[in-house]
Amino acid sequence: MTMHDIYLLSPELSLAGLATLVLLVDLIVKRKSYLFVLTTVGLVVPLGFTLALLGSLDGAGVVENQGVLRDTLVVDKFALFFKLLLISIIAIVSLLSIDYVRRFEQFQTEFVVLLLYSATGMMLMASTKELITIYIALELSALPVAALAAFMRDGRSAESGMKFLILSGISSALLLYGMVLVFGLTGATQLDDIAERIATLAINTDEPFGSYALLMGVVLMVAGFGFKITAFPFQMRAPDVYEGAPTPVTAFLSVASKAAGFAVILRVFYSAFGIEELSVEWSAIFAVLAALSMTIGNLVAIAQRSMKRLLAYSTIAHAGYIMVGLAAVSTRAGSGDSSLGISAVLFYLSGYAVMNLAVFSAVIAISNRINSDAISDFAGMARRAPYLSAVLAFGLVSLTGIPPTVGFIAKVYVFGAAIDAGLEWLVIIGVLNSVIAAYYYLRIVKSMYLSEPLSTDPIESGTPLRLAMLVTSAGILLFGLYPTGLLNFVKSAAQALLSTS
């Protein structure tokens, strides 16, 4: 490991260092809220390193003198995009946690430290280009979450943690099995090498993916990653985990875990299986999964009574929308812009992070006070907490995909990419789903603004939550009205992925 390697890895290293520092300072500091300030402010260090790396990219969006740690990691604009996104998410989530952790008698600091370690794993996931490293990064990101999910130490939380642990174990096993098959066929764990070997293998056009072994490997890998992004039919854990876990952890899981999962999927499928014969095949798999995830997620969400469960099903549906962009593979692009599908995924992930965190901030702020997640308890909330309700309503409108919000642009962009790739049927299913979603999202808005409140006590929220809500709702509006900057950024990140693969 040279100095240059350390520099290239500096965002991850500094984030892990920050986590360790917070853990140590915890021993000497009494007021735990200082530690959250330290965390939030400390995030400036990994952020600074990431921005510095962004500055040193060359024209193709890659840092020169690649080959970090024997070529297992890559630092390109694509990876740095995800690092920026994850740092922003963790900053918001740590703001959300400050008030929330007061309910724990002990281990308040450990809560945020585990979040930071998990985020470190996720940042590594975005950079990996080698199967074993992917596996390690994935485990690093998942294990702290299992502890976090069980943090409340009540029955449901324990169930949540246990379910997360077991199912993430199963998904890792499936993933490993898939990786082994791919390795067996190609003799390589490096994504670029895999791509090279596959190209030289005689493709048997009668069999899907050229050979059943590769088909099996790919399907198992999709299954393994499917758990990460809560795609149907691997979504079963999500509602129980989401409901039982502390709400900031739920927020973190629904946006960060999803972003990292998609980062790995994009990297693996575009780097290792990027040739046209294969991409058409896996595009079909993702198209079907996208249609099912959207439909199942939205339909089941209608019947939910708990806010957290509803958001869990909504996150499954949104995984479906994002997979629409994944299915829109470059090789079919009619417009000739081969990065359109990837940039649609990246844009949707950023937009989803902003709007979902806005919704979660408001939900946390409200349920902190009323000690309930039931949707019926949000009735008439607009009179008790006008600003919180406005943020929640705005976030829900954005999740529905109605202008002037980032959700609208993200929806149009991802469906546009799919149309460009000739997936009209999938887009029709997608838009019909957005109508179903409108029903259950706006029903909450309606109940907040129309129903009689259950009590007249006004609901106050602390400064950190207010800050989180301000930032996220400003993001919804800004990216909804003027998405150009972000669109340009995701586009060059997408092109970097294509050029490194």
Partner 1 sequence: MEFEGNGLLTLVVFLPLAGALGIALFIKRDKEVRYMAGAIALAELILSLMVFTTYDLSEGGVQLVDRTSQWIPIESFKVEYYLGVDGLSAPLVLLTGLLGFAAVYASWSVKTRVREYFVWLLVLQTAVMGVFTALDFILFFLMWELEMIPMFFLISIWGSGRREYSAMKFLIFTFLGSAFMLVGILALFYSTGTFDMILLPDAIAQTELIAPAGIIFGLIFTAFAVKLPVWPVHTWLPDAHTDAPTAVSVMLAGVLLKMGGYGMIRVSAGMFPEVIVDAAIVLAALGVVNVIYGAIITIRQTDLKRLVAYSSISHMGYVLIGISSVAGVGGLVSSTGLTGAAMQMFTHGTITGLMFLVVGLTYEKVHTRSIPELGGLSARMPVVAVAFLIAGLASLGLPGTSGFVSEILIFLGAFPVYGWFTGVAVFGVVLTAGYILWMAQRTMFGPTIDRFSNVRDASRMEMVPLAVLIGSIILVGIYPSFVSDMFRDGVAGIVADIQRSGALAMVLP
- How far apart (Å, rounded) are the C-alpha atoms in residues 273 and 453? 55
Q: Is 303 in the site for partner 1 (CB under 8 A)?
A: no
CB of 477 to partner 1, least distance (A): 12
Residues 206, 229: Cα–Cα separation, whole Å: 31
* Exposure letters 126-160 (e unless 16+ CB within 10 A, then b): bbbbbbebbbbbbebbbbbbbbbbbbbeeeebebb
How many of the other CB atoms lie within 10 Å of CB of 203? 16
Q: Which is nearer to partner 1, 96 or 490 (CB)?
A: 490
Give the tokens for residue 417. 């990419």
CA separation for the pair 100, 9 (Å, rounded): 32
Closer CB to partner 1, 212 or 439, in the complex = 439
Residue 106 interacting with partner 1 (CB under 8 A): no
* Contact of 317 with 294, CB cutoff 8 Å: yes
Residue 153's contacts (CB-CB under 8 Å, 6 or more residues apart) are none
Q: Is the CB of 47 or the CB of 329 nearer to partner 1?
A: 329
* Secondary structure E strands in 347-500: none
- Least Cβ distance, residue 226 to partner 1 (angstroms): 27
Which residues are paired to 306 by β-bridges?
Answer: 374
Closer residue to partner 1 (CB): 51 or 454: 454
The single residue among 37, 233, 439, 463 that binds partner 1, judged by CB under 8 A, is: 439
Return the axis-axis angle of helices 424-450 and 386-400, rounded to nearest 10°.
Answer: 160
Closer to partner 1 by CB, 215 or 287: give it: 287
Give the residue, chosen from 4, 32, 443, 466, that forms a contact with partner 1 under the rule CB under 8 A.
443
Output 96 or 326, the one with its CB closest to partner 1. Answer: 326
User: Residues near 203 by Cβ (< 8 Å), separated by ≥ 6?
Assistant: 210, 277
Binding mask 312-341 toward partner 1 (x if CB under 8 A, else -) reads: ----------------------xx-x--x-
**Quick one: which of 2, 65, 376, 488 contacts partner 1 (CB under 8 A)?**
488
| # residues contacting partner 1 (CB under 8 A) | 36
Which of 203, 213, 438, 498 binds partner 1 (CB under 8 A)? It is: 438
C-alpha–C-alpha distance, residues 76 and 191, integer Å? 15
Q: How far is the CB of 59 from partner 1 (least distance, A)?
A: 18
Q: Among 442, 444, 355, which Cα is nearest to 406's? A: 355
Site track 458-487 with partner 1 (rule: CB under 8 A), x = hit: ------------------------xxx--x
Q: 422 near 334, Cβ under 8 Å? A: yes
Q: Least distance in Å: CB of 401 to partner 1?
A: 8
CB of 88 to partner 1, least distance (A): 22
Q: Does 212 bind partner 1 (CB under 8 A)?
A: no
Q: Please report, for the chain, how many H helices and E strands are present, in that order.
A: 22, 0
Of the pair 29, 442, the CB lying nearest partner 1 is at 442
Residues numbered 390-429 forming contacts with partner 1, rule: CB under 8 A: 397, 402-404, 408, 412-413, 415-416, 419-420, 422, 424, 427-428
Q: Which is nearer to partner 1, 233 or 422 (CB)?
A: 422
Nearest-angstrom CA–CA distance, 127 and 107: 31
Partners of residue 128 on adjacent β-strands: 73
Taking contact as CB under 8 A, which single stretch among the options 15-23, 84-92, 266-274, 443-451 is the one that binds partner 1? 443-451
CA 403 to chain centre: 23
Distance CA 39, CA 113 (A): 9
Of the candidates 280, 303, 431, 474, which one interacts with partner 1 according to CB under 8 A? 431
- Residue 226 or 320: the one with the smaller Cβ distance to partner 1 is 320
- Cα(319)–Cα(299) distance, integer angstroms: 14
Which residue from 141, 371, 421, 410 is spatially nearest to 256, judged by alpha carbons? 141
- For partner 1, the closer of residues 187 and 334 by Cβ is 334
Q: Which of 334, 492, 331, 296 is nearest to 416 (CA)?
A: 334
Residues 407, 472: Cα–Cα separation, whole Å: 13
17 or 453, CB closer to partner 1?
Answer: 453
State the minimum distance, in angstroms, from the CB of residue 76 to partner 1: 20
Minimum Å gap between C-beta 348 and partner 1 is: 13
Question: Position 146: which residue type?
Answer: A
Q: How far is the CB of 467 from partner 1 (least distance, A)?
A: 20
* Interatomic CA distance for residues 264 and 281, integer angstroms: 18
Given the complex with partner 1, which of 64 and 424 has the nearer CB atom? 424
For partner 1, the binding residues in 337-356 under the rule CB under 8 A are 337, 340
Residues that bind partner 1 (CB under 8 A): 334-335, 337, 340, 397, 402-404, 408, 412-413, 415-416, 419-420, 422, 424, 427-428, 431-432, 434-435, 438-439, 442-443, 446, 449-450, 482-484, 487-488, 491
